[in-house]
């Protein structure tokens, strides 16, 4: 499902009426191009109702709607199953309140939501910085309460402001649609489906017996982030060079250890060989409560996973 997240910062520019209208016409044509590949799945997500959009300072969308040749484009835009605000696209129960995104030092809620939901950011091309099919964002994620500060990373998102930008994304949009039809990893929707394919999809990951029930009973909105994290972990082990990466694989997401008190109280599990061991290393599969606790065994190049679920102890 190609969810398109409108970049609110691109709608805060001062520009002449004709330029704004041209940019909006091009953006809607770009959105229609995406819908041409996956009409049922294309959704436009904005911070407000599309009918109430301000395209630029002192330029409500009504000014564009009233220009010649826009009637059909406007009708098609209304059919894009528009969601608002951005949070309406988040899984039930998720707020992502401990993650913030910025671009060139400016907060970008819509583009950040595109990254969180693996969507595509879309912008009005009224500023040269939005003339790109990919954008780099700065992501700040608060660490657990027992940890100090936050983690800063750079992330890249798909982006479009023109049909030319969209053209670069059409192969991946088609691939995602076809994968869903084939039943590939991206089409897995339930925890039970994910568990049945874990051994096939993640050969470098081994799961303690207690994890089976946790995966099978995953809420639907947690299935995608869990399978994404597991795929990242499996790929990291596959790419691991023991000679140069002495500390272990690069996991692809923030990995932190539990503090001593929590390690002692919550992180001792019976490993696959029957021995009790601490699984205090963890990563997040949602920004709030979801955790994967694991240990990496260098000798066998395998990850042993002891817990997939809410933060231990809550």
Q: What is the tens place of the pLDDT at every residue in 146-186?
A: 555 787 888 899 999 999 999 999 988 887 777 666 555 66
Over residues 52-111, the pLDDT tens digits come to 999 999 999 999 999 999 999 999 998 876 788 887 877 666 677 778 999 999 999 999
Residue 256: other Cβ atoms inside 10 A: 16
Give the pLDDT mean for 203-212.
Answer: 97
Whole-angstrom distance, CA of residue 111 vs CA of residue 103: 9
CA separation for the pair 20, 24 (Å, rounded)? 6
pLDDT in tens, 224-255: 889 889 988 999 999 999 999 998 999 877 78
Report the predicted TM-score, pTM, of the whole model to 2 decimal places. Answer: 0.66
List of E strands, the chain: 3-6, 43-45, 54-56, 59-60, 99-103, 106-107, 120-122, 134-142, 150-160, 205-207, 255-257, 268-270, 276-278, 281-284, 290-297, 302-310
């Amino acid at each position: 499902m190609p969810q398109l997240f409108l970049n609110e910062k691109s709608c805060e520019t001062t520009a002449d009426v004709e330029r704004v209208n041209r940019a909006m016409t091009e953006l809607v044509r770009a959105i229609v191009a995406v819908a041409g590949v996956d009409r049922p799945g294309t959704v436009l997500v904005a911070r407000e109702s599309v009918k109430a959009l301000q395209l630029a300072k002192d330029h409500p969308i009504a000014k564009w709607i009233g220009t010649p040749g826009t009637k059909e484009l406007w009708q098609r835009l209304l059919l894009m199953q528009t969601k608002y605000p951005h949070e309406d696209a988040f899984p039930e129960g998720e707020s992502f309140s401990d993650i913030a995104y910025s671009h060139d030092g400016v907060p970008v809620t819509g583009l950040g939501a595109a990254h969180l939901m693996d969507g595509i950011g879309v912008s009005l091309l009224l500023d040269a910085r939005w003339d790109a099919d990919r954008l780099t964002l700065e992501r700040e994620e608060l660490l657990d309460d027992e940890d100090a500060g936050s983690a800063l990373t750079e992330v890249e998102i798909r982006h479009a402001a023109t049909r030319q930008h969209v053209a670069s994304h059409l192969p991946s949009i088609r691939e995602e649609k076809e994968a869903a039809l084939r039943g590939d990893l991206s089409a897995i929707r339930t925890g039970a489906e994910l568990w049945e394919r874990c051994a096939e999809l993640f050969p470098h990951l081994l799961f303690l017996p207690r994890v089976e029930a946790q995966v099978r009973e995953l809420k639907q909105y947690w299935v995608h982030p869990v399978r994404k994290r597991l795929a990242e972990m499996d790929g990291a082990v596959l790419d691991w060079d023991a000679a140069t990466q002495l500390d272990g694989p690069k996991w692809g997401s923030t990995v932190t250890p539990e503090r001593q008190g929590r390690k002692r109280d919550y992180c001792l599990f019976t490993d696959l060989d029957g021995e009790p061991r601490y699984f205090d290393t963890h990563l997040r599969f949602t920004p709030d409560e979801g955790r994967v606790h694991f240990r990496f065994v260098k000798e066998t190049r395998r990850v042993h996973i002891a817990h997939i679920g809410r933060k231990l102890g809550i």
